[in-house]
Chains A and B, each alone.
Chain A
């Protein structure tokens, strides 16, 4: 049995069919023109839709702008509150709790120690003038300060001067630097 195949590359024999090609081309031209007009109309329609939407949005914008303008007083108040509070956020950490610092020095130094003078600055620098009756208290002071440096709230402790008073006691001048934690409200 002989198999029949379809020759897809079959060429028309004889004369080149110009008329049919022209017809096809004309048809293609008309179709292109139709497609072009469809695209043109579509674009124009889309453009007009966009314009319409733009107008709608513009009207809505005006409405919202009017609302905002009507609430201008509220906005000013809100801005003012915001401005002041953001300033207060920066101001409050500057408040050093001096009462807490005085209580702190009163609590960790031995009872025998008498305060002569105290000077504290907001950066946590403390200069303390104290008086002790005997050398035993001096040792206690040293112990307490070194323990505060490791576990407590002191960053630095320095003995500036030491002198004997008329009664045989000791006058000490000490400098401290406090860790900020705990002394700012």
Chain B
């Protein structure tokens, strides 16, 4: 009997306690409800935006760097550079130009050209020209054409001819030589040569905006200064 009375007293007290605790309950409720409905999605959005902002800053950094690098390139100088590099490594195969150059070099060295042959599959046609270089590609690509050349000359003149082939633009290389020396030293020496010529694709479009600008590395700069610029031009 006593026990029941006690319980009833506590229950009344509890009711009063809940009434008095309404501020606390409302506060907590507000925090939970608005937290779930407004705060958490807002926080999620803010965090996402923050992530995006970091990426945007990176992109801006890259763009600024690229813009600065491009702005720093002297347009006159790059045009001159491109012209001399293209002269050294042309875009299109041209048998006529190769023949003309070889004839000029042979004449300069005192050697006479007897014949020049090229395999039919290697001759340039509009469709068989070098494929367009993909933009932004770091490693260059080139095509080689082999010419079988027969020439005649004195031993010293032939050596001069070989030397001229290596120091003239467009770039050529000797793939092999074969010569027989006659008994009579005054007689001209016939020589069979394999001449290699090269062509490269051309960049026609800029890379994507975010792609960093391809700059010349040390080796390429060295090749430009020490070889390309020193080639004799015709």
Binding site for B on A (CB under 8 A): 18-19, 22, 25-26, 28-30, 32-33, 36, 39-40, 43-44, 46-47, 50-51, 53-54, 57-58, 60-61, 64-65, 67-69, 71-92, 94-99, 102-103, 114-122, 129, 185
The digit string for B77-104, where 1 denotes a CB below 8 A from any CB of A, is: 0110110011011000000000000000
Q: Is A29 a contact partner of B28 (Cβ separation < 8 A)?
A: yes
The answer to whether A99 and B162 touch across the interface, beta carbons within 8 angstroms, is yes
Q: A85-B220, A87-B140, A121-B176 are in contact. Are A68 and B20 (CB under 8 A)?
A: no
Closest CB in chain A relative to B227 CB, distance in Å: 6
**Cβ-closest chain B residue relative to A34:** B27
Chain A residues with CB below 8 A from B224, complex form: 85
Report whether B82 and A71 are in contact in the complex, using a CB–CB cutoff of 8 Å.
Answer: no
Chain A residues positioned under 8 Å from B137 (CB to CB) = 83
Interface membership of B36, Cβ < 8 A: no
Scan residues 31-46 of chain B and give those whose CB is less than 8 A from a CB of chain A: 31, 34-35, 38-39, 42-43, 45-46
Q: Shortest Cβ distance from B174 into chain A, in angstroms?
A: 5
A19 to B180, CA, bound (A): 121
Q: Which residues of B contact A87 (CB under 8 A)?
A: 89, 140-142, 198, 200
B50: nearest chain-A partner, CB-CB: A50
Query: Are the C-beta atoms of B206 and A50 separated by less than 8 Å?
Result: no
Q: Pick the 10 closest A-B CB pairs, nearest first.
A: A29-B27, A87-B140, A86-B140, A29-B24, A64-B63, A79-B203, A47-B46, A85-B220, A71-B70, A87-B142
A185 partner, pick from B138, B166, B180, B219, beta carbons under 8 A = B166
A75 touches B45 (CB 8 A): no
A-facing residues in B52-79 (Cβ within 8 Å): 52-53, 56-57, 59-60, 63-64, 66-67, 70-71, 73, 75, 78-79
B216 lies within 8 A of A82 (CB): yes
Expressed in whole angstroms, the Cα–Cα distance for A36 and B159 within the complex equals 90
Convert B4-43 into 0s and 1s, putting 1 for each residue whose CB lies closer than 8 angstroms to a CB of A. Answer: 0000000001000100110111111011001100110011
Say if the beta carbon of B128 comes within 8 Å of chain A: no
Binding site for A on B (CB under 8 A): 13, 17, 20-21, 23-28, 30-31, 34-35, 38-39, 42-43, 45-46, 49-50, 52-53, 56-57, 59-60, 63-64, 66-67, 70-71, 73, 75, 78-79, 81-82, 85-86, 88-89, 133, 135-142, 155, 159-160, 162-163, 166, 171, 173-181, 194, 196, 198, 200-207, 209, 213-216, 219-220, 223-224, 227-228
CB-CB under 8 A from A69, the residues of chain B are 209
B63 and A120 form a contact (CB under 8 A): no
Asked whether B162 lies within 8 Å of A86 as measured between CB atoms, the reply is no
A86 touches B45 (CB 8 A): no
Interface centre among A44, A54, A87 (most CB of B within 10 A): A87
Contacts of A91 in B (CB 8 A): 89, 142, 171, 173, 198
Q: Contact check: which of B24, B204, B228 meets A25 at CB < 8 Å?
A: B24
Which of B17, B67, B178 has most chain A Cβ within 10 Å? Answer: B67
